[in-house]
A and B are shown apart, each in its own frame.
Chain A
Amino acid sequence: MSPATQEPVIRTRNLTKEYRRQEYHVYALREASIDIRRGEFVALMGPSGSGKSTLLHLIAAMDRPTDGEILVLGHDLRSMSESAVARWRNAHIGFIFQSFNLIPVLTALENVELPLKLTRLSRRERLDHAKWALELVGLGDRLTHTPRQMSGGQEQRVAIARALVTDPDLILADEPTGNLDSNSAKEVLTLLTRLNKEFGKTVVMVTHDPHAARTAGHVRYLEKGMLLPNGEVPEDWAPIHHVG
């Protein structure tokens, strides 16, 4: 069981993201209200264009909402300056991309060390932390390998190590298994579960893979930019039966 507490680390109210192109108004997300508690593992599911990635980007402060409220770890992200948001993101958020997004010219160790460059840690400490994170994801023997020398699954594990190396409060994953074969996807999901259960990290994962969603403690669905009420599933979608 995930070690969730009652304290919400993510709280949105009527969160809206609207894109305007001349006379066209497109709602990527409309009046989404959600509470995610510390230690929860939540999967956001829905068809393409349903707004699940938009919600994740707003939680990570990678984008600004058009309307509504958003409090993440007690911070009102709308009122923070861009540089303050950048520092906050570095300290509190670990982000995992579908396409891994490693820096191709840097080694696994350097990729994982990168977010620590923004901390006050010494070089020695940074390298120790990065090695620890890579060992945790089972890549202690691949420190000097560049992304090109690794498989997709290994790349995503490096990306997970990079996301957890700063010891963030929140791990946000955008389709983390979308570009992986089933075995690699399984490894990645096992790692995310471990981060949630063993290290108490709050994990929010966007996916449209039911297998991936099953590893999460809760699943919330989105459809056409709307966050469906808890327990409600879009038409044509079978509800997820959780594992364990």
Chain B
Amino acid sequence: MDEIAFYCCSGDATDKHDANSFAYLSSLHSSKQYLQYRQCYSGRNGSVLTGIGQETKLISACNDRAIIQVYLYGKESPEQKIPIPEPLSCLEICDDWLLVGGGQSGRIYVWELDSGLLLAVKECHYQAVNVIRYNKGFLVSGGADSRVVIWRILDLANDSINPAKPYSILTDNTLPVTDLVITNGLVSDLKVYTASRDCTVRCYSIASKRLITTFVLPTKVESLAADPAYRALYAGQDDGFIRMIPLYRGNVKTHVLEAVGGMGSIVTLKPDLDLQETFVCHKDDGNGQTIVTKLQVTLDGTYLVSGDSKGNVFVVDIATKQIQRKFKPLAGAVSQILLAYTKADNKQLDRHYNDKNMVRVIPTLKRVVVDANAIEKHEIQKKLGELQPPYFGEQKFDMNRFLEDVKTQQMWFTNLSDIDSTVIRQGSENLFANGKAAGELTVLKTQLEQKNAAYTTLKEKYEQLYKEHINGL
């Protein structure tokens, strides 16, 4: 098994042709680099993957340009450049079905990937949308206007028929929201953690739309990640530190494990002078301030993958807080880190494997919102059936099933009774023993007898006449 990290940057302002803006797909546990993407640069959270492997795509919203670039897995250069209504600051993909973009004007755009239809455009924020996250039918957006807006994806998809309204708007933050994390679980248990430059991480229950806990950090929070089992949060700060926020803690008095927060409480985290819960890998190296721009936690919750404003990406062991790997640095601030896992020997990841019939592009994303009439003429582009997989050998022959079939069929060839029903045919008489043939035989016999009788009579007559003739002479 292998874990793969995709990471890209926001580009270098001095590089006009973006020749140095690369994105990479690298293994977390080995030195293997699966792929690199040229001229790939996006705003923070502005790149998404439809998956890893053949026919999957990387969709990247170009930083400060009204263009989306689509890369096919296995190809370094963009396969498509799609013009869009405005520069997008962030992207999110919902169940490989919808592409949601957050604009710098504060609008969110909802496209259907299979048709390219623009299903909805919503005036969501007063300033740029910084981050969009989707889980379990809820789309949550955080903006520079410090608001967090929650939508039901079903409402957005049906916006042309029933104009969608936000499920909830959270306005507790006072400065821009920089990152969001939505937990997993049953819909009634879903929570959203918001990170903001007002030095807080807030936890809301989506079902009840209530603030559960506010964590107050010493500095601005720029990025946020959660342990897969939600035992802790990791907050990337604007001073280069990553702060761990435990969500369970032993009570020092009672020695009982307790959940941190709840009941709308405010939990203030004081500066961690002993660095017990702080990661310092991105700490300022003297060349200006470093901001931890992106964070992700690996599948097993033991490593933290973090990127900073100087283009450094580290893999840090959470237990020891030691850097395990340093990825190839990027030309600008790290804008996106995405993790995926796969089998180590997965042939689908072989970049040289090429199916000439694979779907290389996505439908062109429309720039006009779809109306109810257009929905009736809804057309999607899809490859039907399954992608021809590479040859992985054949399945073992199921001998037991085969023998069972043989036994079942053998019944028809076996005389299961104690009567020997073999018909012994003697001579040719029995050949026409029955049926139509027998009838014909009888008729023929009768005809033959009649003819014989007639011949005999004729012969007798002839002989009599002949005798009379002789006697007459």
Same complex origin of A and B: no
- Residues of B at the A interface (CB closer than 8 Å) are none
